Amino acid sequence: MFDDTIAAIATPLGEGGLAVIRISGPDTLAVADRVFRPAGKNSPAPSAAPTHTILYGRIFRSEVLVDEVLLSVLRGPRTFTREDTVEISCHGGLLPAKLVLDTVLENGARLADPGEFTRRAFLNGRLDLAQAEAVADLIHSRTALALAAANEQLAGKLSQRINELRDELMRTLAHVEAHIDFPDEDIAPETRLQLIQRLEKGAAFLEELLRTANEGQILRRGIRAAIIGRPNAGKSSLLNRLLGHDRAIVSPVPGTTRDTIEETADIRGLPVVFIDTAGLRDSQDAIEVEGIRRSRASLAQAELILHVLDASEPLTAEDEAYLKEFAGKPRILVRNKTDLPSQCSHVGEESLPAVDVCCLSGQGIEPLKDAIKGMVWAGRTEAGMLQVMINSRHQEALGRARTATRETIAALRAEATLELVALDLRIAVGAVGEIVGKTTTDDLLDSIFSQFCLGK
C-alpha cells in the first residue's frame, strides 16, 4: 500500500455531459471531506458514508462554489486500486473538471502520473501485469475483435495459461535442484526422459503462443495499407468506399490528391490504416512532386499495397513499371471501373491476387475486404485464439523462455551437469514470470505504465 493520495481527471478533456475526477490513496476520504459538502441536512460526509454509495452535494474552493456533483465512495480493498477511492462526477467541460481537480490537489492529493491508478492495482495485487496491459488495450481498441481480445486478457485467460506453464517449469526445476542437493544420486534414465517430455510439452506451448504474436500486433496497432496507382485510377474513390464515408476529394482532374491521407477502418474486425497517396507519375508541379515524395515514404512503411488499375484502359508503361517496382511487397491488384468495357482483365494471377471493383456503385468492395483480411490475417478468430494474443513485450520474453527451454532439453539429452541444466531452466522460469509480473524491475514498470493515459 502507498502512503500518498493521487488524483486525476479520468475522462477525456473537452466539452461533454459529465467529467469524472478519480482520487485514490490512504487520505482519499479526508480529502473528500475537505472539498465536498453534502446537500441534505442528514446526509453523511464521505468519511462517514458506507462503501459503494453515491452522495449528492457541491464542491467548494475557499468557500466559493465550484460545481454541483455526485460523489461515489468506494472503500478498499473492493476497488480498482484496492485503496480507498472516490470518484467525483461533475459537469463536463474543460473548466469545471479542472477546477474540481485543482480543489482536490490543494487539499491533500497530488496529481497522478500516467497509468498510476493501474500501476497501483498491479502492485496491490488487484491485477497481474498482463491484465494491467489489457486495460490499455481495452481503451485503445479500434475494432470489436480487438476489444474481445483485450477483454479475454483482462479476464485473466492469458495469465492463467502463463501461470500454468510457469508452475510446470518450476516443478521441473525443483526436481532438478533436489538431485543437485544429493549429488550421490544420479537421475534415473526414465526420470530424465520424463523431465524431457515435460519440457518438450512446455516448449510446444511456447511455440503456440509465439505464433499468435503477428495477429496480436495487428489487433493492437493495425496494419498500414497504401493505396497506389496512376492519377485518376480511382484511389480516392476506393478510400471513401472502404471507409464508408467521403474523406478524400474525388475529381476527374489528375493530381487532385497532393498529400497523403490516413484513415483507420474496421475491415472484418481488423484495424486497417488506409493511406491514400498522390498519383504516381512524373510531374513538374512542385506541390505534386512533394506529394509523390511523401507517397513513396508511406509506401516504404506500408505492410500491404492496394494497387489500383483503371480496368477501362490498357496497361501503360507506368503501370508495368509500378507492377515490377512493388513486386517485393504483399499487394492486391484492384481493377477499378469494371462498369466500363474492360481492357486489362487479364492482369493478376494466383500469385498476385486481383479483385474487380466499381467504386461508383460499390460493387466488389466486400470481396476486396475479404481479400485484405486473407492477405494479412493467418489466425483464427474464435475465443480460444483471442485468449492468448500476445504483445511485443510478451513475444520478446517468451522468445527467451523458448531458447532457454530448448537448451535445457539439449543439456538433459547430453547428460550435462545438473547445475548447467538448472541454470538454463531458471532463465526460462524468470522469462515466463515477466509476462504476469512475477519477475519485474522498476524500469520495466515505468516503460509499461508511462504509455497509459492520465486518470487510468
Torsion, Cα of 79, 154, 394, 8 (10° steps): -40
> Does the pLDDT value for residue 182 go beyond 60?
yes
> Does the pLDDT value for residue 400 go beyond 50?
yes
> Does the pLDDT value for residue 294 go beyond 80?
no
> Does the pLDDT value for residue 121 go beyond 80?
yes
> Does the pLDDT value for residue 130 go beyond 70?
yes
**What's residue 44's pLDDT?**
95
**What's residue 431's pLDDT?**
93
**What's residue 255's pLDDT?**
47
> Does the pLDDT value for residue 1 go beyond 50?
yes
What is the identity of the amino acid at 105?
Answer: L
**Which tens digits make up the pLDDT trace of 295-353?**
667 677 788 889 888 888 888 887 787 788 777 788 899 999 888 887 665 665 556 78
Mean pLDDT on 82-102? 94
Map grid coordinates 453523511 to a residue.
44
**Which tens digits make up the pLDDT trace of 252-272?**
544 444 456 788 888 888 888
- Closest to 138 in 3D by CA, of 129, 128, 151: 151
**What's residue 253's pLDDT?**
47
Mean pLDDT on 65-91? 96
**Which tens digits make up the pLDDT trace of 199-243?**
999 999 999 888 888 888 888 888 888 888 888 888 888 888 888
> Does the pLDDT value for residue 245 go beyond 90?
no
**Domains of the chain and CATH, by start:** 6-127 (3.30.1360.120), 131-212+387-437 (1.20.120.430), 228-376 (3.40.50.300)
Question: Residue 43 has what DSSP assignment?
Answer: P
CA separation for the pair 393, 444 (Å, rounded) = 10
Torsion, Cα of 64, 69, 74, 79 (10° steps): -110
Of the given ranges (30-44, 169-183, 273-287), which has the lowest mean pLDDT?
273-287
CA atoms within 13 A on the CB side of 89: 10
**What's residue 39's pLDDT?**
93
**What's residue 258's pLDDT?**
45
Helices (H), 282-378: 286-301, 317-325, 365-376
Judge whether 378 and 215 are in contact, CB under 8 Å: yes
CA separation for the pair 295, 278 (Å, rounded) = 6
**What's residue 168's pLDDT?**
92
CA separation for the pair 289, 278 (Å, rounded) = 9
